[in-house]
Amino acid sequence: MTTDIERVTGTALDRVEGRDKVTGLARYAYEYPADDIAYVVPVPAAIARGTITGIDPGDALAVPGVLTVLSFRNAPPLAGNDPELRIFSSDRVSYRGQMVAAVVADTLEAAAEAARLVHVGYDAEPHDVLLRPDHPEAYVPEKVNPSFPAVSEQGDVEAALGDAAVTVDTTYTTPAYHNNAMEPHATLAVWSGDRLTAYDSNQGSSTARDMLAAAFGLEPGQVRVVSPHVGGGFGSKGTPRPQIVLAALAARAVGRPAKVALTRQHMFAVTGYRTPSIQRVRLGADASGRMTALAHEVEEQTSTLKEFAEQTAVPSRMMYAAPNRLTTHRVVALDVATPSWMRAPGECPGMYALESAMDELAVACGLDPIELRVRNEPEEDPESGLPWSSRNVVACLREGAAWFGWAGRDPAPGVRRDGRWLVGTGVAASTYPARRRPSEATARATADGRFTVRIAAADIGTGSRTALTQIAADALGVPPERVDVRIGDSALPTASLAGGSMGTASWGSAVAMACVRLRERLDGAGGEVPEDGIEARYDTADDIKADAAYARHAFGAQFAEVRVDPGTGEIRVPRLLGVFAAGRIINAKTARSQFIGGMTMGLAMALLEESVPDAEFGGFLNHDLAQYHVPANADVANIDARWIEEDDPHLNPMGSKGIGEIGIVGTAAAIGNAVHHATGVRFRDLPIRPDRVLDRAPQIGGRNL
């Protein structure tokens, strides 16, 4: 080893697995081989609520190649504390699309054909699948994801609003959203006696192992989950989904390896989604625009199977200074699948409402939207009173304004035209917590001068394998070409899942410190490596306890230019700029990709995406990618992502903050604010579809036909 190697963290190192991916050598869950594989296709429930009165598998079993039909009548009971994973556990149906049976066959074609021939009888009951304001069954949960109190209150909000010189009282709605990763949820399950191996697409093999072991009453050591390459997840693969349990059940039932790959239609039912929300935001300010009151009250949905309450109002607890504050969450248990994590849960929908309301307050106060935010910048975390580890949201706003060309912006709405287009610009701030979770890693040196790092991390397309290679190389003082990083296998040292923008921070802390320890041992041995190598291990559990001393968040600012055709309702976004303060950037290339990917999802949130509930039959009407709209290349014009270098000593050995989610936060609000600036009309219900623009056309000067 040497000590004069140029640092590689911060550089735009190419993905270390890039060649394997573009040549097809990278193996994904469904591609793993096994002898004598059986194929499994689930049968979804056709009702939203009720009881199964009978299952007739006769016609399905008559299809050549069908091995068995699984249902609550013949499937063994499952354990664990996640009712979504206890498939075939009873005759009850809790939502449309729930797995009520499954066909196992020699071929996928036979299984798919036979699944349509399983006859299921139901005793349907009246159902309720629609979130609506002031639902009579709404209640306050004990906590919101992951463990925040559902309600927080400081001061006297009502009195402060009554005394405020300027107030805003508005309600915003967001629909349900489904995370549709490129790779569908898929599993190959293989039993060897009482030991189970699952090749699975997930965001954390350690977590999947533990939950799968609990479901089958096994010790974690009896289960291995292999997931080195994952084609995206966006949160939907953060914890195991029913297909991994189904694959294991089927493999045990027929005594052969079994494969399951969910279709898009299945994914809209059983892999989670972002809850719709109804958000009332009330802001009060004095004549100078300094806020005196902030109230953010949220209603959202959960399922009757288990409670998941998204922390939608939580970012309002720390974003701006206001002495009188109230945030609340109420949920309704509907006859729907359980909502779950989707990129930037809580912050994404919550900051849409807050940042839209801030724009409305800026208009009401006659202030530039950036200046309003600067005037309400808190010196410390308003909720906890903790000092910031670092907070550069003002720098993001100021620098972004200069790069975007904000100076001289005419604040008057609805007055700029370019031919048939109305033109406007908007801004919003963004934030996401800088978390990390306990993880373990080993680093090993071998006599040939190479190093191997092992940790059960996940790479869901974010480039984590490459970032960990860079972190290890710098900690060891060697070029990255001499470092091999092994991830994506629960047999490796235990790691937290990829989620909450905490993957690199969590895993990188363990990797960096394991490499530091290894380097110390090598130095103690005079740099000599014995034939059997030298290894070091590090567990970050104790280190993370110190994180509670600071409020740790990444921040950013989003700027958008839009063009609106009042004659067609069409909205175009020719320019998007995101400026971020996210600690030390580990890889400039993959970071930019993450920021731009998040901003693209934010554009989709603003203009395209929505899962439409089926009030009559349950489930969702647009349950495929033909009807659930996501951006194509033509929808995404000039997106630019930049960042401000931060030196934050209170984070982790790398000084980094998570970047996977903050890109989506604030983008929808920036676009919505720009649409208001272009048209003079405020659209508070997402997405801002052409038909909604046309409905308001008389307010923006007619259709201009």
Please name which of 595, 598, 622, 626 lies closest in space to residue 610, comparing C-alpha atoms: 622
Residue 288 lies in a domain: yes
**String of b and e for 445-456 (b: at least 16 CB within 10 Å)?**
bbeeeebbbbbb
- Per DSSP bridges, beta strands 152-154 and 324-334 are antiparallel
How confident is residue 545, by pLDDT bands cut at 50, 70 and 90? confident
Query: In this model, does residue 2 exceed pLDDT 90?
Result: no
How high is the pLDDT of residue 527? 84
Q: CA–CA separation, 319 vs 316, rounded Å?
A: 5
Q: How buried is 477 (Cβ within 10 angstroms: 0-12 exposed, 13-18 middle, 19+ buried)?
A: middle
- pLDDT reading at 392 higher than 60: yes
Q: What angle do CA 163, 165, 169 make, to 5 degrees?
A: 85
Are 362 and 429 in a shared domain?
Answer: no
- Per-residue model confidence as pLDDT tens digits over 582-626: 999 999 999 999 999 999 999 999 999 999 999 999 999 999 999
Rounded mean pLDDT, 2-11: 77
478 backbone dihedrals φ, ψ, rounded to 5°: -130, 160
> Residues 596, 694: one domain?
yes
The answer to whether residues 104 and 40 touch, using CB atoms and an 8 Å cutoff, is yes
Residue 637 lies in a domain: yes
b/e per residue 204-243 (b: at least 16 CB within 10 A): bbbbbbbbbbbbbebebebbbbbbbbbbbbbbbbbbbbbb
Q: What is the pLDDT of residues 133-177, one digit of tens each?
A: 989 999 999 999 999 999 999 999 999 999 999 999 999 999 999
Tell whether 109 and 204 lie within a shared domain: yes
- What pLDDT sits at residue 701? 62
* Same domain (yes/no): 520, 654: no
Query: 7 lies in a domain?
Result: no
Query: Is this model's pTM higher than 0.75 or not?
Result: yes
Domain of residue 162 covers 128-178+277-380
* Beta-strand pair 440-445/451-454: antiparallel
User: Using H for helix, E for strand and C for coil, what is the string for 275-344?
Assistant: CCEEEEEEEEECCCCCEEEEEEEEEEEEECCCCCCCCCCHHHHCCCCCCEEEEEEEEEEECCCCCCCCCC
Paired tokens of 237: 């693969």
In this structure, the answer to whether residues 317 and 260 fall within a common structural domain is no
Sorting pLDDT into bands at 50, 70 and 90, what band is 546? confident
Cβ 438 vs Cβ 496: under 8 Å: yes
- pLDDT of 703: 46
Helix (H, G, I), strand (E, B) or coil at 682: coil
Q: Are residues 374 and 493 in the same domain?
A: no
Q: Write phi, then psi, for 8 (nearest 5 degrees).
A: -105, -15
Res. 696: pLDDT tops 60: yes
Known catalytic residues are 661
Mean pLDDT value across the chain:
96
Cα–Cα distance, 312 to 331 (Å, whole number): 11
State whether 409 and 444 are in the same domain. no
149 in any annotated domain: yes
Q: With cut-offs at 50, 70 and 90, classify the pLDDT of residue 4.
A: low
* Mean predicted confidence (pLDDT) in 71-81: 96
Residue with tokens 């908007």: 426
Question: Which of 356, 380, 404 is the endpoint of a domain?
Answer: 380
Of the chain, the percentage scoring pLDDT greater than 70 comes to 99
pLDDT at 65 over 90: yes
- CA dist list (Å): 287 to 160, 167, 372, 378, 578: 13, 10, 12, 18, 30
In a domain, 12, yes or no: no
Please give the full DSSP string across 17-38, using - where no structure is assigned.
THHHHHHT-SPPGGG---SS-E
Read off the pLDDT band of 353 (50, 70, 90).
Answer: very high
Q: Find the helix packing angle between 347-365 and 667-679, rounded to 10°.
A: 30
Q: Are residues 430 and 441 in the same domain?
A: no
CATH number, domain with residue 500: 3.30.365.10
Same domain, residue pair 526 and 601? no
End-to-end CA distance of the chain: 72
Q: Indicate the pairing of strand 571-581 with strand 553-564.
A: antiparallel
Within 10 angstroms of residue 384's Cβ, the number of other Cβ atoms is: 12
Structural domain contains residue 203? yes
Q: What pLDDT digit, counting tens, does each position of 248-289 carry? A: 999 999 999 999 999 999 999 999 999 999 999 999 999 999
Q: CB count, 10 Å around CB of 194? A: 10
pLDDT of 1 > 60? The answer is: no
Short-list 332, 279, 267, 343, CA closest to 619: 267
Determine, yes or no, domain membership for 11.
no
Q: What is the pLDDT of residue 541?
A: 94
pLDDT at 404 over 80: yes
- What pLDDT, on a 0 to 100 scale, did the predictor assign at position 427? 98
Same domain for 646 and 626:
yes
Last residue of a domain, one of 312, 346, 380: 380
**394 is a domain residue:** yes
- The answer on 217 and 83 residing in a single domain is yes
* Tokens matching residue 248: 């294991």
| Residue that is last in its domain, among 498, 519, 547 | 547
Is the peptide bond prior to 240 cis by the omega test (within 30 degrees of 0)? no
Are the CB atoms for 413 and 535 separated by under 8 Å?
Answer: no
Q: How many domains does the chain have?
A: 4
pLDDT mean over 486-499:
98
Strand order in the sheet with 119-124: 92-93, 50-56, 119-124
Running DSSP on this structure, what letter comes out for residue 562?
Answer: E
Residue 392 and residue 468 in one domain: no
